[in-house]
Chain A
Amino acid sequence: MNRVRQAFSFLLLYSSVVTAQVSDYIYPNTYPSFSNYGTLGLIQAPNARFFEEGTLAFSWSHNEPYLRGSIIAYPFSWMEASYQYTDINNALYSNVSSFSGNQSLKDKGLDLKFRLLEESNFIPQLAIGVRDIGGTSLFASEFIVASKRIKNADFTLGMGWGVLSNNSFKNPLGNLSDRFYTRQERDLDATSEGGALNLNTLFTGKSGLFGGIELFIPKSNGLRLKVELDATNYEREGREPVIQDSRVNIGLVKPISENFFVKLAYVKGNTLNFGFSYKIHAGKQENARRKLDRHIPVKNSDVVRRVTAKSDLFTYRAALTNLQDRNFTLKYANIDKGEFHVAYQQNKFTNYGIAATRILRTLDEVAPDSIDRFKVTNLNGEMGLNSISISRQNFKNSLSRKTPELFLKDSLIEGYTLNKDDFIYQPIAEYPAFHYNIEPDLQAQIGGPDGFFFGTLRLAMDSELMINKDLSLLGKFSYGVLGDFDEITLASDSIIPHVRTDIVDYLQEGDKFTIDRLQFNSFANPYKNIYTKFSAGIFERMFGGYGGEFLYRPFEKNYGVGFEAWRVRQRDYKQNLTFRDYETSTGHVTFYFTEPNSGVLIRLKGGKYLAGDSGYTLDISRRFETGMSVGAFFSRTDISKEEFGEGAFDKGVFFIIPIDFFSTSYLKRSFSWGIRPVTRDGAAQVTHGLPLWGVTDQGSSWSITHAWKNVYE
């Protein structure tokens, strides 16, 4: 009887496994999809779904009278942040035609959503979120939402406030405080200035009910049907009321590929809307394009090793040439008591571990059998940053078994201060050395009152001249090829020194040849964990001067402290070698902290800014194993909201994606994208080239080891 029961249990288990397996093929691509608001959801309503951390997405939807483009980031698996532009077709940008002509109204907004509870077999996933926080609040709403997947249907039910308050009922939060019963009416005239946060309105006023289902159609490559009860209060949304004929919306979403989705829906009972979205999972190395430029083994390494066994000099030279062939620069080398120590520079690999292990492979292929230990030291300029030592046999074991963990266990990774006396072999560097790179440089301006889009395409040359080992000149020159910035008429209305808001003058007068940077630098690493930099020249488009940085960055620790001070003068709008009258001193103390498990970097900076205001900037970002970073920042200084102007205070979001994520080759360059709702003069900082924190990135144990699991590619 027991056997029968066991057999029955086995069959039951087996059949459920088989069902689950078949279901993976019947319902492929069951990723959640975006709503018209550019966050994951149904058609109009949000749901409680999130993409995996490190995902970036773009969503576009056209739902009359709104046309909305959103950039969405998932810095954590429990957080969704979306920044969007909305073109509002049924309202003008302003009533002053001399200011904005007949351009339709544009609105910017930030949405946030946080997971409260993760879905399990019996419990739905629960999330809380806010739409259009701060700013003009034309679409402001808050919600709590639950989503539960049952077979091929994803059910969503939620409660909303603000714009999501149709199908309304009494706000249950009123039981906590009477203030939740009343929502502050929007002052559409006042909110046209936007930018400030008003947290008092959150979760106030009437509550609304929304819900729906995302039904995955079998054997259709991820096609899904969406039906929802719409809680959007079209009387409260946007600038002008919109007619709603039905509270039920219906739509289809079709994945064209794993990452590209298109959608079509019928909303409000009277409007057909269309949209698309694209996402990348850029946080994990396994999602990056597979690299084809693998380690190139040294040819005839047996013969090479027999030759290098005859003389240390042959070993040095073999290492020098073979590393050079593999994009590494050997700067110093030494052989002592069976240890081969090589100090190198590299500018190819974002993952420092890959660089180090490739060097070790090359050394193993050229070094004679008498060498039983390797030490590789990473330099940047003449600054020692880290040193990795491992016995030759342990390295071979780790490599042959492809076990990066074994490498970490058997090696010593430590900070390093360069002492040239440690090295017998010091190949002579030829100075001056010059490097340059020519690339297109696109700058654009979106959503201003003069027009929705202005842009310029420039041809830029980035260069670096190494005058000697201690002094370099960093240059950037550009030439405007085409653009329409001359059509912008918006002038600065700032009442504090125009350290940034004269940007239109800079763009218009510097529309041809400009010197974007011409900065002398001298770096040093005088003591262990201490780095210094002195710079002078033209730092950026608007300012030049002189000053320096000091950084204390203990290798084993996850924190650092920096100090910087600059005497700067404002540059002429034409961006040649002449200056304007405004000059000032600026400086900051910065505290850095990296949370090692998540890779979150917190930068707290305090000091005096370019316009003479004093205060602080908090910058929080997360760096993933691919090198991608996502972050946000804000500043508060001692100027009033009136002095700051629109936006009330400086804030913004940014992300940085390494280019080699998309490439079959390694390339230590990145694509950066950042946005501030408004640019004002308050909390403005001078932007100098080669900041010490970036230059000394390899001087941190975390930076080297956080993506170590990928070193054997």
Chain B
Amino acid sequence: MHGRMYMNKLKIIIPLAFLASCNSYYFPLWVETPQRILNSFKPYSPSEDYIKNQQFSFITVELGQQDATLVLSSIKHNIFTWVGRDNVTFKTYKGIIIETNGLEHNFVLKNPIESIDSILEQSRGRLIYDFDNPRLYELQVAIVGLLQSEEQIVMDLESDDIGWDAKISVKNGPKSLATETIQSLHPFLKDVKLRFYYKY
């Protein structure tokens, strides 16, 4: 144990570095933060041990500089619900994200099962989105490109109403279960990347 005097750093900059008849500044730089910033750009990947030790299926989520792990909470009508800390929830159907909660900007797909199945069968159609923050209901997003095989689904989407170009890309593994999804969630968010780890 030790005593230590801690100082609140609210102090005016030491004027020593100001030169005569000119202008200068003083930088107290730091070591920790650049390291933290560098770390934040590393792609998130759980270790083998971590994967092995998990009891339940989970996904890793990379969204911009943030990453998280969400655990499978339920499967109902082939809709997988994944939950994480801070009430972050993702719902997926055939690997496609159909609803998010707890993000800064969220969306819900209307009639996701019918819409997605219809698109995959007919190679055309549209998805209807509800956005929040700011709220926008029943935005029609057209499928302008679709590539589908057993291994992957790639959809290009477009909304003329708001000028939003989006994409959904799902890679499938054995048992036709999604292994990786890259998807545009919301016009104000970067594309999200999910990796799926199943425990069954």
| Residues of A that sit less than 8 Å from B by CB | 18, 21-22, 24-26, 28, 85, 108, 218-220, 290, 294, 329, 331, 345-347, 380-382, 427-431, 433, 435, 437-449, 464, 466, 469, 472, 488, 490, 492-494, 500-501, 503-504, 506-507, 521, 523, 540-542, 619, 623, 629, 631, 633, 645-646, 652, 654, 656, 659, 662-665, 667-680, 684-685, 687, 689-691, 693-695, 697-698
Contact = CB atoms under 8 A, between A and B. Distances in A.
A108 B23 contact: yes
A672 B4 contact: no
Interface string B8-37: 111111111111111111111111110011
A684 B162 contact: no
B125 to A, nearest CB: 22
Given A220-B163, A662-B37, A694-B8, A490 B2 contact: no
Given A441-B29, A503-B16, A677-B23, A381 B4 contact: yes
Nearest to A659: B33
A695 B8 contact: yes
B190 to A, nearest CB: 10
B137 to A, nearest CB: 7
B130 to A, nearest CB: 11
Contacts of B135: 21
Given A26-B163, A448-B19, A430 B2 contact: yes
Central interface residue in B1, B6, B131, by most chain A CB within 10 Å: B6
A567 B160 CA distance: 74
Q: What band does the interface of chain B fall in when counting residues whose beta carbon is under 8 Å from A?
A: 35 or more
B51 to A, nearest CB: 20
Given A438-B31, A654-B12, A674-B26, A490 B19 contact: yes
A435 B21 CA distance: 38
B31 A672 contact: no
B16 A678 contact: no
A687 B15 contact: yes
Central interface residue in B10, B137, B187, by most chain A CB within 10 Å: B10
Binding site secondary structure of chain B: loop
A25 B164 contact: yes
A610 to B, nearest CB: 11
Contacts of B7: 689-690, 694-695
Central interface residue in B9, B135, B139, B187, by most chain A CB within 10 Å: B9
Nearest to A193: B21
A687 B3 CA distance: 24
Contacts of A345: 3-4, 6
A629 B9 CA distance: 11
B134 A678 contact: no
B24 A697 contact: no
Interface in B90-112: none
Nearest to B165: A219
A422 to B, nearest CB: 17
Nearest to A257: B190
Contacts of B161: 22, 25-26
B118 interface: no
B5 A429 contact: no
B188 interface: yes
B19 A504 contact: yes
Contacts of B85: 294
A691 B11 contact: yes
Interface of B: 1-33, 36-37, 40, 66, 85, 131, 134-137, 139, 161-164, 187-188
Contacts of A25: 131, 134, 136, 139, 161-162, 164, 187
Contact of A679 (B6, B18, B163, B188): B18
B20 A443 contact: no
Given A331-B3, A443-B24, A444-B24, A28 B188 contact: yes
A85 B9 contact: no
A670 B5 contact: no
B163 A439 contact: no
Contacts of A645: 21
Given A382-B3, A690-B5, 13 more contacts: A21-B137, A25-B134, A25-B136, A345-B4, A427-B1, A433-B3, A443-B26, A506-B16, A633-B12, A646-B21, A662-B37, A663-B33, A697-B10
A693 to B, nearest CB: 8
A25 B14 CA distance: 46
Contacts of A437: 31
Contacts of B2: 329, 429-431, 433, 466
A503 B20 contact: yes
Nearest to A320: B1
B26 A672 contact: yes
A669 B8 contact: no
Given A433-B3, A501-B20, A670 B162 contact: no
26 contacts: A24-B136, A108-B23, A220-B163, A427-B1, A438-B31, A444-B17, A445-B17, A446-B24, A447-B22, A466-B3, A472-B5, A540-B14, A542-B16, A659-B33, A663-B33, A667-B33, A668-B8, A669-B32, A672-B11, A673-B13, A673-B25, A674-B12, A675-B18, A678-B21, A694-B10, A697-B10
Nearest to A443: B17
Given A85-B23, A441-B27, A446-B25, A541 B16 contact: yes
Contacts of B13: 654, 672-674
Nearest to B36: A663
B19 A21 contact: no
B15 A623 contact: no
A674 B24 CA distance: 8
A684 B15 contact: yes
A690 B8 CA distance: 8
Contact of B28 (A441, A464, A490): A441
A329 B4 CA distance: 10
B20 A219 contact: no
Central interface residue in A24, A464, A667, by most chain B CB within 10 Å: A24
Contacts of B21: 448-449, 490, 493, 645-646, 678-679
Contacts of B15: 500, 652, 674, 676, 679, 684-685, 687
Contacts of A108: 23
Contacts of A347: 4, 6
Central interface residue in A345, A542, A633, by most chain B CB within 10 Å: A345
Contact of A694 (B4, B11, B18, B22): B11
A654 B12 CA distance: 7
Contacts of B19: 445, 448, 488, 490, 503-504, 507, 679
